[in-house]
Chains A and B, each alone.
Chain A
Amino acid sequence: QQQVKQSPQSLIVQKGGISIINCAYENTAFDYFPWYQQFPGKGPALLIAIRPDVSEKKEGRFTISFNKSAKQFSLHIMDSQPGDSATYFCAASSEGNTPLVFGKGTRLSVIA
């Protein structure tokens, strides 16, 4: 049973556009929701994360929107650049020092 559902599987965005990736979770015990960026042949890098006590968190061009009642969260990449082309994973966990549950990933391609 997949506990974190991520969509879309792949995404093509024009340079300067907004990239939006969505995730939905089932386990109401989850209280930490990070996003990771992974380039081919590299390990995932923590991009931004949110706790359920806030509905939105912004860091530079990256914003997480969180909807606790709908059990959904999303990543928005503003002014998308070709260098943002990578695979993005959402994840969730229910307490510190426990394994993350990952979505299946979204392959983002930003074209000029």
Chain B
Amino acid sequence: GAVVSQHPSWVICKSGTSVKIECRSLDFQATTMFWYRQFPKQSLMLMATSNEGSKATYEQGVEKDKFLINHASLTLSTLTVTSAHPEDSSFYICSASPGLSSYEQYFGPGTRLTVT
């Protein structure tokens, strides 16, 4: 159990376009999901906390108008990278907890974004 999926697994887009990444909890409901960004050979950097039915909470330095997060249901959160630029190329990973007070977080397989 506790499976998190992401779609797409990889995407290539042109500079200036927008890309949407989906994160789904397949066998549990997640009131909270988290979005991370990871550069090669580095640790995970928290971008934002996504709460179902409310606005996301962004970490300092993360542009909320560029990285739009929508938590439409208890099993789906989306991250849209707007007006993407090459520096946005990265590995984006979401995670979710199976319960309001659950400590365990399960990660999706990640989405590799390349902006050309």
Contact = CB atoms under 8 A, between A and B. Distances in A.
Interface stretch (B65-73, B75-83, B92-100): B92-100
A41 interface: yes
Interface in B69-116: 91, 93, 95, 97, 99-110, 112
A44 B103 contact: no
B97 A89 contact: no
Contact of B93 (A32, A43, A51, A95): A43
Interface majority SS on A: helix, strand, loop or mixed?
loop
Q: Which size bracket describes the interface of B in this complex?
A: 20 to 34
A91 to B, nearest CB: 8
Contacts of B34: 99-100
A97 B31 contact: yes
B54 interface: no
B93 A103 contact: no
A99 B43 contact: no
B106 A96 contact: no
A43 B100 CA distance: 23
Given A96-B97, A97-B32, A99-B34, A42 B110 contact: yes
Interface string A37-66: 000011111100101000000000000000
Contacts of A105: 42-43
A102 B99 contact: no
B19 interface: no
Given A102-B43, A104-B42, A43 B107 contact: yes
A41 B110 contact: yes
A95 B99 CA distance: 12
Interface string B31-49: 1101000000111101001
